[in-house]
Amino acid sequence: MTRWEEIPELMALDSRRQLIRIPPELDVPITDRVRRLIDTAAFRRLARITQLGLVSLVYPAANHTRFEHSLGVYRLALLVLKHLSHDPRFRAQVTPHEGEKLIVAALLHDLGHWPFCHAIEDLGLPDVPPHEAFVARFLRDEPVALLLERDWGLQPDDVLNLVAKHRADGVSSLLQNILSGPLDVDKMDYLFRDSLHAGVPYGRFFDQQRLVGSLCLNERGDGLAITEKGKTAAELMVFARYVMFSEVYWHHAVRSATAMLQRSFFELKDRLDLEALFSAGEWEFIESLRQSAGQSKTAEILNGLFGPVRTLYKRIAQFHYFDGDDVYRRIAGRPYRWLVACAHHLAELLSRKLGIPVSSHQVLVDAPPVHKEIEFRVDVFFPKEATYRPLSEVSPVVRALAQEQFDHYVKRVRVFAAPSIAGEIKSLGSLTELMHQAAEATDASQDYLSNTA
């Protein structure tokens, strides 16, 4: 039976014999069996999918790929396992073979993502499968399934259980928490890497090395906690996440581009082969959308995103959770079909107000999706007192930024309009009353329940 010290990937951390270099000057150890996995077509596809998609229209260097990110997550998983393998409680319940399972899951965790995956999943459309369904497909296909069994002694469902976060207790829950939890290796990498490539400092505020070195098991043993030495690093990671959402992921121009893509996909989805589309790389995905759009109004929107000249819709109104008016509360979390119907009614109201035709494809309503970001809940272990306390109890930073509902403070309801009419709409002043009227008309008509909304 393999011992922790004999896991090839952990040994490779120190041997430095086979390495892949990723930014910023990080060496990722590659064993023969890891190389065979990353050389499969399923994994190589991730090199054709950018991590942040449309963010590069605002931050032009943010065009790093899910291939790079996956290598970064894999590297962090090795560092976490190396650290935790010295913890007697961890070794008592997690076998080296289960550690190898986590290594594979960290490497392959993004295998099912398609281009612009999160923006499309946020639409909540019943005919769009979750990306976990595509993880299963790629894991079960040859040669990935054969490599998992031959090189790692694993079945595809062993890895899928961790990646898709199927119900689990004990060891599986702990491993899932390392891969996807408040202090997971995925988040540690994407905050840092997205910040690096976007050219902003916000996601690099936290001390990654200090955070990894402070990880321990929580009191129940089914998740991660931190020792008090990691408290500041964890606080800074919470702040990094908050600012990255505020300044990058939900930047108003990024959301304009996202709203344009979402409306385009919504209008075209019935003409698309989703199975083929979601198995494609980014440029094949874009080309499929543009071909399906033909000469329609949707083609104009797509041309603004992917044509020779960037033409993003302009922000004409914005509503916050803490505004005195309740537009935010009326619109945030509504189904996407409702938002499309609301934009249609708003276009009709604007047409009457301006005395010029405003078509529904010229107005987009963007709002926080139905699902919310996970709250940041992690315990701090104080060895002298042998006690665990929630980080939010001992940290004013976390109490302020993570105990309150995260989404309310970083995500806004916004209205965007085509540049050709944005100026005239802005001349009307506040759109608050028109938004209320559009929302009332949408609720009254219930036309958002129709497939043709």
Q: What is the pLDDT of residues 185-213, one digit of tens each?
A: 999 999 999 999 999 999 998 999 999 99
Tokens standing for residue 445: 């008509």
What end-to-end distance do the CA atoms of the chain give, in Å?
60
The arithmetic mean of pLDDT across residues 370-391, rounded, is 86
The arithmetic mean of pLDDT across residues 361-379, rounded, is 87
CB 51 within 8 A of CB 69: yes
Task: Encode pLDDT of 138-187 as tens digits.
Answer: 999 889 999 999 999 999 999 999 998 776 678 999 999 999 988 999 99
The pLDDT of residue 403 is above 60: no
pLDDT at 16: 80
**258 inside domain:** no
**257 inside domain:** no
pLDDT at 423: 95
Same structural domain, 243 and 329: no
**373 inside domain:** no
Same structural domain, 334 and 244: no
pLDDT at 325: 77
**283 inside domain:** no
The arithmetic mean of pLDDT across residues 421-433, rounded, is 94
pLDDT at 2: 74
The pLDDT of residue 330 is above 60: yes
**E strands, 176-268, where?**
215-217, 224-227
Quote the pTM value: 0.94
Q: What is the CATH number of the domain that holds 78?
A: 1.10.3210.10
CB 111 within 8 A of CB 46: yes
Same structural domain, 84 and 165: yes
Cross-strand pairs, 387: 382
CB 357 within 8 A of CB 410: no
The residue ranking higher by pLDDT, 445 or 303, is: 303
Task: Encode pLDDT of 108-126 as tens digits.
Answer: 999 999 999 999 999 999 8
Work out whether strand 215-217 and strand 224-227 pair parallel, antiparallel, or are unpaired. Answer: antiparallel
The arithmetic mean of pLDDT across residues 40-57, rounded, is 97
Specify the 3-state DSSP secondary structure of 263.
Answer: helix
The arithmetic mean of pLDDT across residues 17-33, rounded, is 95
Same structural domain, 11 and 90: yes
Same structural domain, 242 and 318: no
DSSP for 421-435, please give it. Answer: HHHHHHTT---HHHH
Q: Residue 16: exposed, middle, or buried by beta-carbon count in 10 A (0-12, 13-18, 19+)?
A: exposed
Same structural domain, 50 and 161: yes
45 closest CA partner among 279, 225, 232: 279
CA distances from 201 to 62, 66, 231, 383, 410 (A): 13, 21, 20, 33, 18
Same structural domain, 353 and 224: no
Which residue range(s) make up the domain with 178?
4-250
Query: What confidence category does residue 453 fall into, taking pLDDT thresholds of 50, 70 and 90?
Result: very low
Among 204, 235, 250, the domain-final residue is 250
Q: How many domains does the chain have?
A: 2
pLDDT at 442: 94
Same structural domain, 328 and 199: no
**93 inside domain:** yes
pLDDT at 332: 92
CA atoms within 13 A on the CB side of 134: 24
Same structural domain, 160 and 62: yes
Query: What confidence category does residue 447 fall into, taking pLDDT thresholds of 50, 70 and 90?
Result: low
Query: What confidence category does residue 451 fall into, taking pLDDT thresholds of 50, 70 and 90?
Result: very low
pLDDT at 450: 58
**212 inside domain:** yes
Among 215, 231, 250, the domain-final residue is 250
The helix (run of H) or strand (run of E) holding residue 215 is strand 215-217
How many whole angstroms separate alpha carbon 396 and alpha carbon 20? 40
pLDDT at 126: 87
CA distances from 275 to 112, 133, 162, 226, 289 (A): 12, 11, 23, 42, 14
Amino acid at 197: H
Same structural domain, 158 and 232: yes
The arithmetic mean of pLDDT across residues 417-427, rounded, is 95
Same structural domain, 242 and 345: no
pLDDT at 405: 64
Among 231, 250, 269, the domain-final residue is 250
Query: What confidence category does residue 408 fall into, taking pLDDT thresholds of 50, 70 and 90?
Result: confident
How many whole angstroms separate alpha carbon 385 and alpha carbon 227? 12
83 closest CA partner among 179, 190, 216, 185: 216
**DSSP for residue 65:** B
**68 inside domain:** yes
Mean confidence (pLDDT) of the chain = 92
How many whole angstroms separate alpha carbon 130 and alpha carbon 116? 13
Same structural domain, 34 and 162: yes
**29 inside domain:** yes
The pLDDT of residue 320 is above 70: yes
